[in-house]
Amino acid sequence: MIRKRNLVFLGPPGAGKGTLSEILINDEKLVHISTGDIFRAEIRNGTALGSEAKAYMDAGKLVPDRLVVDMVAARLAKEDCACGFILDGFPRTVVQAEMLNEIAGKTGRGLDCVVLFDAPRDLLIQRLTARLTCRNCKANFNKLFSKPRKEGVCDHCGGELYQRSDDSLETAQNRLKVYEEQTAPLIDFYTGNGLLARIDSSLPKDRAYAALLAVLS
């Protein structure tokens, strides 16, 4: 069992945060909180929050902090997070990180570790533009590196695989730029308070997972 259980997965889009989250929650009782997944569900359900978020997401921009922070605060306050959680894709700005400190103070859910997923830009673009996502269980596949057994069909649940609209080349490039400008400053933020651990996420996923377990043990 891993020792560090209140986690943030930090890193550029395509670095494998979602993929390793899926594997980790299979092995450990942790709640996976992906703010991107929550927004996509809001869009599917046709909510006001979803329609406000969609325009930003389609452009590869960040959804405004005010729309994200309350959503995460409400989720972290739920009882199931007591055994540990993975924040995947949150925080993405220094303001969000500061708000998360406040939320952690109020809910008693202080962070144990912030894992930085490191991978070169070319590989990220390759992964993003070839990514396939299951509409049903959200599992990720890749047309180049990790093909599903049957084309267009999820190996795990039989759901339909699709390409996320923000995984087009142009939007993927935008998302990486936004990451460098707005999210990468969090590396210094979390190095400063001693929480940051780095893994090489260009490795094949079994080796990247072993590296992840090593930093969480």
- Give the footprint of ligand AMP on this chain (CB under 6 A): 13, 35-36, 39, 56-57, 60-63, 68, 89-90, 92, 96, 166, 175
17 is catalytic: yes
| Residue 92 annotated among the catalytic residues of the structure | yes
Give the shortest CB-217-to-ligand AMP separation in angstroms: 26
Is 118:198 a contact under the CB 8 Å cutoff? yes
Q: 63 or 113: whose CB is closer to ligand AMP?
A: 63
Instruction: Quote the least distance from Cβ 166 to ligand AMP, whole Å.
Output: 6
Please, are residues 125 and 173 in contact by the beta-carbon 8 Å criterion? yes
Q: If we measure between CA atoms, which residue out of 41, 44, 21 comes closest to residue 31?
A: 21
> Catalytic: 175?
yes
Q: Which is nearer to ligand AMP, 7 or 57 (CB)?
A: 57
| Active site annotation includes 44 | no
Closest separation in Å from C-beta 62 to ligand AMP: 4
Residues annotated catalytic, as ranges: 17, 92, 131, 164, 175
